[in-house]
Structure 1
Amino acid sequence: MVMRKWVLFTILIASLIGLVGCAEKTSAGKESVQKNNVMEQEKKLEEQKAAEETAKKAAAEAEAKRIAAEEAKKPKVVNVIDPGTKNIVKSFIPVDFGFGTDNEKYKKELGNWAKELARGTETTPGYDTKMILDKIDANGQVIKGKPRVILEEAELVTKIIEASVNGGDVFLPIYVTESGYKPEDAAHLAEVVVATYTTKFNPSVTGRNKNIELSAQAIDNVIVGVGDIFSFNHTVGPSDEAHGYQPAQEIVNKQLVMGIGGGICQTSSTLFNAVDQLAVDYVEWHHHSLTVGYVPVGRDATVSYGGKDFQFKNTAGVPILIKAVYNPNGTLTVEMRTSAAYQSLLQKR
C-alpha cells in the first residue's frame, strides 16, 4: 500500500514538472515570435527608409540635371572687377564678341580693350601710372611720391579667355611697385659723390638760363631707388608759362626757333652725362636734330614734355640721389650720390 502511494506521488510530481516545462516552452515561443515580428517590422522600416532616401537622391539628381541643363542654355557672363574697389569694370557675354566662333578676333578685341584700360584714352585715364619718385626737401624731410602702377594687359586677356568657358569673375591683374630704397637710407644718400658732370651756359641769356634753373631745381634731391625708372618729363613737368618757364631758343626740326622752355635740354643732357657713368639702363633717350655746344656730339639728351623723354632705370645696385647745382655765373653741375655704406656696392660702367 505504501509502495503504491509512493508511485502515485512520484507520478503526480512528474506531471507537475511537465506542466511547468510546457508553460515555459509556451512562454519562450511567444517571446520568439514577438521578437521575430519586431525584427521584421524594423527591417521593413529600414527598407522603406532606404527606398525614400534613394527616391530623394534620385529626385535631387534629376533636379540638379534640370538646373544644369537650364544653366547650360544661358549665355556665360564674365565680370571684370577692380580688386581695389571691388566694382565691376566691365560685364559682358563672350559669345557676343565671337568667343567659340572666332577666337582670334575675340582675343584681338580683348587686347585692344585691355590696352585702353591700362594706358587710357584721350578722355579717360588708364590704370598705368609712372612712378613719382620721392624727393628730399630743404629740411632733409622726404617728400613722398607715388608708386608705379601697371595693369598687365596680356595676363588680363588670358584670364578673361579662361573665364569665358564657364563664365565668372576676373580681377584686374594690377601690380604696384614702391621705390627701391629703405626709409632709413634717405638721411645718408647725399654722403658720397659717385659721378658728376658740368656744362656751361652764357650768363647773359636770361630767359634760357631761367629755364635751366627751374628744371635743375625740379630734379635736385630726387631719390632713384634700385629698380626705379626716372623720367625727366614726368619729374620736371610741363615747361610752360604757367610753371614759370620763359621764351628762349630751342631746336625744332633742325632749326633754331623761339619757344617757351628752351634750355631745359641742357639740364637733361647734363644729367645724362652724369648718370651715364653708372651702370644704368636707358628706357628712352633721344638726340637733338642739330649738334649742341654744351656737350660733345652724341652725348646730348633732348626732351619735350608730351613728346620725347629721357628715362633711365637704376640698375646700379644701390639707391642714388640726384643733386643739381645751378650757378648763375654760367655752370650747371649734376652729381649722382649715395651713402658711404653703399659706395663699394655701386656698379659703374
Structure 2
Amino acid sequence: MAILRFQVGLIFGVFFLLASMCPATAETVTSQKHRFRVVTVVEGLEHPWGLTFLPDGGMLVTERPGRLRLIREGSLDPQPVEGLPAIAAKGQGGLLDVALHPDFAQNKLVYVSYAAAGEGGIGTEVARGRLIGHRLEEVQTIFRLQPKSDRGIHFGSRLVFDRAGYLFITLGDRGEMARAQQGDDHAGSVIRLHDDGRVPADNPFKSLSGWKPEIYSIGHRNVQGAALHPQTGELWAHEHGPQGGDEINIIRAGNNYGWPVITYGVNYGLGTRIGMGTHQEGMIQPLHTWVPTSIAPSGMTFYEGDRFVRWRGDLFVGALREQMLVRLRFDGTRVVEEEHLLKEALGRIRDVRSGPDGYLYLLTDHRKGALVRLEPLGGEE
C-alpha cells in the first residue's frame, strides 16, 4: 500500500511539474474576425505597467513598485535589472513605461518613465541608461515634470518614439484639472523631446513667453495609451475621462484637447457638467469617446502583424475598469467597428503591444499580474 501511495504521488508530482512547465491557456475565444486562445507567458508580476521587446527575442517589463524585469525564452529572470533611478511608488505612481531607443541594437539605450520625489512632492520623470547585462549604466534623467505636487494620481505616462526619432511623453493633470490649461505647467500635456532630452527647435510653444518649451499639446486629463499610426506615422493617444468621456485623439503640434474646459464626461457621483460642456472654439474634438460609462483605457497598439490577418490595421485598447480588450476599426478617422474581447476574463488590462512575432501581448494589472499572448487557432493565420 505504501508503494502504491508513493507511485500515485510520483505520478501526480510529475503531472504538476509538467503542467507548471507548459504555458497555461484559456478557453477558445471566438471573436467577430478570428478564433484565438490566450496563453500565459509569465505569471507573478507585481502590478506590471509597461512592456517592450528586445532585438534578441527577450522582453522588458516594468512593475509599478519599482522593478524592471527581463523575460527570456518565456521565463521571468528572478534578478531585476539594477541601476534604476530613485522611484516614488505612491498611489498610481511608481515605475511606469519602458521603451527602447530606435537604435538600441547599437547604443543599448533604454528609457523609463516613473514617479520621483523632489521639491513640492512627486511627479513624472523620464530617464535613460544603457542596458548592460542586468544593469542600466550611465543613467541620466532627461525630463522632470514641473511643478511637482503631493497628489498620488494621474501621472500618465507612455513613451513613444516617432519615425523621426523624437520622443513623446504623455502626462496626466495630477488630479488638479486646471493645470492642463496652463502653459507654464507640464501637467496635462504631451511632451516632445530629442532622444537626449533637448527641446526640438520646432516645438510649438518654444518661443512663447511663459510656456514650458517641452510642451507639444495641452488639455489632457490622463494619457495612458499612445501609439504611432502605421500609415501616417502620427501619434494617436487615448486618455481617461472623469465619469464617462474617455477619448481617442490624434496628437498634433499646438493643439488644445480641451480638458477641463470641454469633456464628454461628468462629475463623479453627481452627473453634473464639467466646464463649458462638450464643444468650445479652438479646442479639438476627439475621434472617439466612451459614454456614458468609462472603460478606463490603458495601453494601445495598432496591429500590423501576419498572424491575425483580419485584424491588420485595427487599434487595440486595454481597459482597466471594464476589464477587457477593445478592438476598433477605423475608416480614416471614423470608427466603423468596435468589439469588446475577453470581458472579465483576465481582469484589468494595463498594456497592449503588437509583438515582432505577430502575436498580441497583454499585461494584467494585479498584485499577481501576468503577461499573456493571444494566438490564433489552427487554420486562422
Task: Identify the TM-score tier after normalising by the shorter chain.
Answer: under 0.3
Q: TM-score, normalised by structure 2?
A: 0.21
**RCO greater where, 1 or 2, for CA within 8 Å and sep 6 or more?**
1
Larger Cα-atom Rg: 1
Is the helix fraction higher in 1 or 2? 1
User: TM-score, normalized by length of structure 1?
Assistant: 0.23
Looking at secondary structure, tell me which structure has more strand per residue: 2
